[in-house]
């Protein structure tokens, strides 16, 4: 087998390389939180990916280059957020009463699974949702 045959990718390039068309941002805000009705925690961002391609066609047979990249924030606890403004927001400094994710900060889960209250029983998810926010305006 010739050396040039080994570099050929048959099919879509994103099947062979899962990071095809993905750029990792060097600078990003440190925190992210969701703005949907169930959100209660502020998460710490590990990395922000910029994805420049999306799957197109009826059967997914082609890739389409995007004019603006799709931004995805990966957190330390393993969740991810699409940064489009309608689903989540980034933050430099969270508000003092906001509840930080325990898994992102190495503590463990904040809420009990059964009661939906914090482990010490002082705060519910709905109360934590009201306190979500950012101290620095503009994010």
Q: Where are the domains of the chain?
A: 10-130
Q: Mind listing the pLDDT tens digit for each residue in 43-71? A: 999 999 999 888 877 877 778 888 999 99
Question: How distant, in Å, are the alpha carbons of 10, 73, 74, 83, 99 from that of 28?
Answer: 35, 9, 11, 11, 21
In this prediction, residue 139 carries a pLDDT of 47
Whether the pLDDT of residue 124 is over 60: the answer is yes
Tokens of 104: 């992102």
Give the rounded percent of residues in the chain with a pLDDT score beyond 90.
Answer: 28
How does DSSP classify residue 42? B
The pLDDT assigned to 83 comes to: 92
List of residues 6+ apart from 26 with CB closer than 8 A: none
Question: What is the H or E stretch that residue 21 is in?
Answer: none
pLDDT mean across residues, the chain: 83
């Amino acid at each position: 087998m010739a050396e040039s045959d080994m570099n050929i990718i048959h099919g879509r390039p994103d099947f062979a390389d899962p990071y095809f068309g993905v750029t990792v941002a060097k600078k990003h805000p440190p925190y992210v939180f969701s703005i949907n009705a169930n959100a209660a925690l502020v998460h710490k961002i590990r990395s922000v990916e910029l994805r420049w391609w999306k799957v197109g066609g009826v059967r997914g047979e082609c890739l389409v280059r995007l004019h603006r990249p799709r931004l995805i924030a990966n957190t330390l606890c393993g969740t991810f957020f699409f940064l489009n403004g309608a689903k989540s927001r980034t933050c430099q400094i969270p508000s003092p009463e906001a509840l930080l994710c325990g898994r992102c900060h190495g503590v463990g889960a904040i809420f009990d699974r059964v009661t939906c209250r914090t482990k010490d029983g002082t705060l519910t998810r709905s109360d934590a949702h009201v306190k979500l926010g950012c101290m620095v305006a503009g994010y």
